[in-house]
Amino acid sequence: MAKSSRETKFTLKLVVDEERKKVVFAEACRDFVDVLFSLLTLPMGTIVRLLKNHRKSEPFPVGCFTNLYKSVVGMGIDDFETEACKQMLLHPRSLRDVECKRLKLNLHPTDGTKLFVCSPYGCDMCSGFSTSRCRCGKLMNKEIPIPRADVVDNIEDGVFVRDRSSYIITDDLKVSVRSTDLVLRKLKSVGCGDLRKVSERLVEIGLDEVMTLLECIFSSNASLTDTFLNKQSPKRVMKPCTAPSPHMVKEIEARPEEVITFSAIVRKHDMKILYVECGEDFVDLLFTFLAVPLESALEISGENFNFGCIENLFKSFKELNASKNSRSKAVLPYYYRWSKQLLNIICEETPFYNSSLCCVIDPKSHGRDQSKKGSGFVKRHTKFTVSDDLIILPMNSSSALCFLKKLESPTDEIQVQEISISKTQAASLLRASLMTSSALKAAFWNSTSKKPKQET
C-alpha cells in the first residue's frame, strides 16, 4: 500500500442521536464521497484480497467470493493455461484504475499498466505480463514504456462526482448533495426534530475506517454507526440459501446459442446439489466473477439486495456519478476475454495502449501458439469439482471415494444430472455468489427440482 494512502485522513462531521447512540448522517467533502464510491469500482477479487489483509485473523467473507479466491490461490500454476492467468485473477485489473489514481485515498493503487517484450527485442510482440512467453520462445520480461493515451483530466474535477459542495451521507449510505431541506427532513424522519437530542462530532477517517466501511456495505444497515460508534467488526449476516433462487428482476438479453454443461451430483430426497463435476468452461466462468467490478456485479444481478447498504450506495453512485466513463455495461480489460463468456459483460477489443510498435499478445495463450486466442484461464481438458459454496478443486487432487464419503449419503440416495446453463443462469449464479454462502443451490434450484427423477 502506498504510504500516502496510509496517511491520508478525511474529517467527517457526524450528527449523532445521543439517546439512541446512532449516527443520523455525516457531512463529508467531495473527495471523501469519491473514495466511498470507488469501493463500488473494485473488482470482486480485489475486495476479497483487501478484506483479507484488513482482518488477517478472521477475514470478512463476501458471499462465495472468498472461497472462489481461495480456490485460485490453492491451485498450482500447472492448473492454469499460463502463469499470467493466475496472476490476473489474484490481482484483477480494472479499466477504472486510471480514474482511481486521482483519488485522495486509493485503496488499491496499481503501478499502472506495464508492457513487456522479449529480450533482446527482436520480435514485434508485447504483453502486459512479465511472465508471458514470446513466439520466439523467450520470456517477455523486458519492460518498455507505454505510449500514453493523452487524456489529461482536470484535477479540479472530482473523480466520480463533480459538484464541489458538501454531501450528506446517511447511516445506511444514501449519498446526496447537502441542502437545508434534506437535513431537516432527515432529522425529522428519525424523530430528532428537537435539536437538543443531537450532537455533532468530528471524526477522522483513514484507510482502516474505509476498510471497515467496505465490510459494512455488505453486512450492516447502519454502516456509519458500526464504523465510528460501535467500532466493531460487523456481524456476519450472509445467510445460507433457504429459499429458491432469488427472482431475476432484470431482463437478461437472450443469447441462447451459448451454453455450458456440467454434471450436478444431487441428493434425491431434497434435490439439493451436493457438488458439481465440470470441465474448464464452468470454472472459467466462475473465475471471471473475480475480475468483475462490484458495480457491474450489482448491475448484472438485478435489484433487491436484502443485505447491507449496498443497494443505497449503488443507487446514489448512479445518481451522482458524472464520470465521462460511466457505462451501462461492464467493460473488462481485453485479456479477460474468452470464447464462452456467458455474463453480460464486454471486454475491450484491444488495450488502450495498443500501438504500432508491437502486437499485444493474449497472456492466456502460449507465445508460440497464438491460435488459442480467447481461451480461458484454466488448463484445457481438466475436470474439476465445485462445491455448493464454490470451492473449486482439480479432480486429480482428491480421490473419488474420499469425495463420496464426505457427502455422508448412501449411494442410492445420490443421482447425477446433466445441467446446461446459459446467460440467465450465469447471472443468477453471480447474484447467488454475492448474496449467499450456498451459490449452486440458490442459483440452480429450479434446474434440478423441475426435472423428473430418473435413475442413473
Q: Which residues bind Zn ion (CB under 5 A)?
A: 118, 123, 134, 136
In the bound state with Zn ion, the residue whose beta carbon lies nearer, of 164 and 368, is 368
In the bound state with Zn ion, the residue whose beta carbon lies nearer, of 308 and 363, is 363
The span from the CA of 75 to the CA of 52, in Å, is 18
Taking the complex as a whole, the smallest distance from the CB of residue 220 to Zn ion amounts, in Å, to 52
Taking the complex as a whole, the smallest distance from the CB of residue 138 to Zn ion amounts, in Å, to 5
DSSP at 225: I
Q: Are 103 and 159 in contact (CB under 8 A)?
A: yes
Burial (CB < 10 A; 0-12, 13-18, 19+), residue 361, is buried
Residue 120 has a CB neighbour count (10 Å cut-off) of: 7
State the DSSP H helix or E strand holding residue 281, giving kind and residue range, or none if neither: helix 280-288
| Three-class secondary structure assignment of 306-317 | CCCCHHHHHHHH
In the bound state with Zn ion, the residue whose beta carbon lies nearer, of 134 and 378, is 134
The span from the CA of 387 to the CA of 395, in Å, is 12
β-pair partners for 277: 263, 385
In the bound state with Zn ion, the residue whose beta carbon lies nearer, of 1 and 136, is 136
Q: Are 105 and 35 in contact (CB under 8 A)?
A: yes
Residue 370 has a CB neighbour count (10 Å cut-off) of: 13
Grid coordinates belonging to 363: 497472456
Residue 202 has a CB neighbour count (10 Å cut-off) of: 8
Taking the complex as a whole, the smallest distance from the CB of residue 142 to Zn ion amounts, in Å, to 10
Grid coordinates belonging to 191: 424523530
The cell 467496505 sits on which residue? 214
In the bound state with Zn ion, the residue whose beta carbon lies nearer, of 123 and 183, is 123
Taking the complex as a whole, the smallest distance from the CB of residue 357 to Zn ion amounts, in Å, to 14
Taking the complex as a whole, the smallest distance from the CB of residue 127 to Zn ion amounts, in Å, to 10
Taking the complex as a whole, the smallest distance from the CB of residue 358 to Zn ion amounts, in Å, to 10
Taking the complex as a whole, the smallest distance from the CB of residue 379 to Zn ion amounts, in Å, to 24
Give the N- to C-terminal CA distance of the chain in Å, as an integer. 53
- Omega before residue 61 within 30° of 0, cis: no
In the bound state with Zn ion, the residue whose beta carbon lies nearer, of 137 and 193, is 137
In the bound state with Zn ion, the residue whose beta carbon lies nearer, of 129 and 262, is 129
Q: Are 278 and 263 in contact (CB under 8 A)?
A: yes
In the bound state with Zn ion, the residue whose beta carbon lies nearer, of 120 and 145, is 120
Taking the complex as a whole, the smallest distance from the CB of residue 134 to Zn ion amounts, in Å, to 3
The span from the CA of 163 to the CA of 185, in Å, is 22
In the bound state with Zn ion, the residue whose beta carbon lies nearer, of 142 and 267, is 142
In the bound state with Zn ion, the residue whose beta carbon lies nearer, of 26 and 118, is 118
Taking the complex as a whole, the smallest distance from the CB of residue 118 to Zn ion amounts, in Å, to 3
Query: Going by C-beta distance under 8 Å and a sequence separation of 6 or more, which residues neighbour residue 397?
Result: none
Query: Going by C-beta distance under 8 Å and a sequence separation of 6 or more, which residues neighbour residue 55?
Result: 215, 233
Taking the complex as a whole, the smallest distance from the CB of residue 123 to Zn ion amounts, in Å, to 3
The cell 443485505 sits on which residue? 307
Q: Are 311 and 281 in contact (CB under 8 A)?
A: no
